[in-house]
Structure 1
Amino acid sequence: MGHGHGHGHLAAADSASGRHVGRLAVAFLIGLVFMVAELVVGFATSSLALISDAAHMVTDVLGLGIALTAILLARRSGPTFTRTFGMYRAEVLAALANAVLLFGVAGYVVYEAIGRITDPPEVPGLPVLLVAAGGLAANLVSFALLRSGAKESLNVRGAYLEVLADLIGSVGVLISGAITLLTGWRYADPIIGVAIGLFVLPRTYTLGRRALRILFQHAPHGVDVRRISDELAALPGVADVHDLHVWTLTSGMEVASAHLTMEPGTSQEDLLERARNLLAGDHGIEHATLQLEAHESAKRCSELSW
């Protein structure tokens, strides 16, 4: 019986989120400054559109703070004998927390906006316009900082989606402020507030679904486990493949384990090397635990109840 690991090691530096911690920190500071500005002016002018954008900015700042905390926690708490995978799942929990926050804020804004449509308050357009312009500039900077990391890390993607929602919200507030300033139409503000709330909901749903997929240890998106099983079974010297599991530890860190039943006379070292190369080279799975079994040992696996 043989047992082997893939070539990768679960070090904190391997985390896709960890490579973008500096950009997350800058985006966090930018968001914090404009969050305060939008909240103050929003309540001072009774602008629901600006309050809506500020509320998204609050979750943006909170989400970025959660993301940064999760990365630092994972980086400082590497694998131990009691936490064999370290604290990498903290990043996925952070992404799920961000999704829950965004759902709550979007629902609150829509509720408030619908109530105001029947009796919209007068909102001064110029202060709203100026603050929204500053918020738009801030969101553009944060958006550019996080765009590349959002392709690699679910945690960074959560923060990126919040910044994107804030960016669209700032555009909406600009439109609302311009309409109010030029025409005095009081319905522009609550209508834009509803539009901002509805815009973020489907994107938040996608983020939450992806986070839950990882927490439930489903196969990574885009990985065909049946194909992997067939390709492993087709390797010379493999009689059977069973107990194959593929899951995501955190963004950019896919993990696999499998039992391979060997044909008599097969070299364990050669088979391990071929199987590792297949998983890493063709499927991007660097960390794999493979158990090689003779026919007699493989019979025990069939007796397991789960």
Structure 2
Amino acid sequence: MHDHAPSGIRDASNQRLLTISLCLTGTIMLVQIVGAILAGSLALLADAAHMFTDASALVVALVASIVATRPANDRNTYGYQRAEVFGALINAVVLIALMVWIAVEAIARLASPATVEVSGPLMLVVATVGLVANAVSMYLLSAAQKRSINVRGAYLEVLGDLIGSAVVIVAAVVIWATGWMPADALASLIIAAMILPRAVGLLREVFSVLGERAPKGTEVGAIRDHILRQPGVVDVHDVHVWQLTRGAPVFTAHVVVEPSVLAGGGAGALLSGLQGCLAEHFDVEHSTFQMEPAGHREHDAHR
């Protein structure tokens, strides 16, 4: 009942597909970096950075799936699921810095287009290889992404890569056909504009998790109402909701119950009902309730 790993990530077939996708993405990323250096293309380098976001996200997901299986101990009482959050933090910071550098370099090239010579044919070949690799990854993940939210995320990331490769191909064709070098800088700006909002959004999500804010989309008031509807519940207070990592929410609350519930031995059934309610309606699998007899809260507050 308390398996808190993100849904579907421990499935062996999903891990295998993610690993294959990671190998393809990582290989093409390296090819694009080499191609960007040889062709002098900033757009290829930006597209490689685009692939870096996906490769690092896949690495974090796969490593987190392994680390999350390590049992909790007296020093890490919630286990090691926060490893994914710290990995995402590093990923977001590196990516934002890289995108800012690419944007500055692209603007400099637009201001002085004659300073850099870009090889259109080589740029086209490398970008086409990236497009094909992304299409293969999408095909491999197409079926599994309907069953797993983690694979769905990877699928959408690869789709973004495919669009980025298409942008580079258009720029390469323009350079090859017309010799207009600013097309490379414009393509890199487009790709940077695609990536930067995602990186900033990832950073905001990391700060939200580390700040122990309620998960996005979680309505604490609705949870409180569901708890109050349970037979025997008089009141609920000290409600806290946070998440260890994406998809692993944690809930605690003090529940004031009728004295007859505790006296009649109904606490166990009520506890099961409360935990089942949160798991079914709010996808909260880790919930902790402190049951108190009516009047206890006032006594506690007086103390």
The TM-score with structure 1 as length reference comes to 0.85
CA-CA distance at 1:207 after TM superposition? 2.1
* 1:291 aligned onto 2:285: no
Residue equivalent to 2:210: 215
Alignment of 1:140 with 2:135, yes or no, is yes
Matched, 1:69 2:68: no
Q: Which has the higher contact order (CA 8 A, sep 6+)?
A: 1
Picking from 68, 73, 78, the partner of 2:71 is 78
Matched to 2:21, the amino acid is: A
The number of aligned residues is 293
Residue in 2 that maps onto 1:17: 9
Q: 1:302 to 1:139 in 2, by over 3 A?
A: farther
Is the aligned partner of 1:102 residue 2:99? Answer: no
Flag the 1:74–1:145 CA change in 2: closer, same or farther, 3 A.
Answer: farther
User: What letter is aligned with 2:27?
Assistant: V
Percent identity over the alignment? 38
In structure 2, relative to structure 1, the CA distance for the partners of 1:300 and 1:84 (3 Å cut) is farther
Match of residue 237 from structure 1: 232
- Structure 2: how far apart are the matches of 1:281 and 1:58? 36
1:255 counterpart = 2:250: yes
Q: TM-score if structure 2 supplies the norm length?
A: 0.85
Alignment check: 8 A CA contact 1:59 1:101 kept: no
User: How much has 1:150 moved relative to structure 2?
Assistant: 11
How far 1:143 moved relative to its partner? 4.2
Partners of 2:51 and 2:271 lie apart in 1 by 50
Match of 2:111 in 1: 118
RMSD: 2.7
Pairwise CA distance, 1:235 = 2.3
The change in CA–CA distance for 1:273 and 1:53 in structure 2 (over 3 A counts) is: closer
Deviation for aligned residue 1:253: 2.3
Q: Provide the C-alpha distance between the structure 1 equivalents of 2:256 and 2:246, rounded to a whole number of angstroms.
A: 31
Superposed CA offset, 1:236-256 (max 9, x none)? 221210111122222332221
Q: Tell me which amino acid in the other structure corresponds to 1:292.
A: M
Greater mean deviation of Cα atoms: 88-97 or 50-59: 50-59
Contact 1:114 1:190 in 2 (8 A): yes
Q: Is the 8 Å Cα contact of residues 132 and 174 (structure 1) preserved in structure 2?
A: yes
Partner residue, 1:168: 163
| Aligned residue type for 1:31 | T
* 1:228 is the counterpart of 2:228: no
- Gapped regions of structure 2 (runs ≥ 5): none
Contact 2:9/2:148, CA 8 A, preserved across alignment: no
Gap change, CA 1:134 and 1:215, over 3 Å in 2: same
List per-residue Cα deviations over 1:2-39 (Å, max 9, x = no partner). Answer: xxxxxx22466x65433343222212211222122212
More displaced 10-residue stretch of structure 1: 105-114 or 205-214: 205-214
Aligned to 1:152: 149
Amino acid at match of 1:69: V
Q: Secondary structure at the match of 1:280?
A: helix
Report the CA distance between 1:138 and its aligned residue.
Answer: 1.5
Return 65-74 or 211-220, whichever deviates more. Answer: 65-74
CA 1:97–1:162 in structure 2 vs 1: closer, same or farther (change >3 Å)? Answer: farther
- Distance in 2 (alpha carbons) for counterparts of 1:104 and 1:162: 20
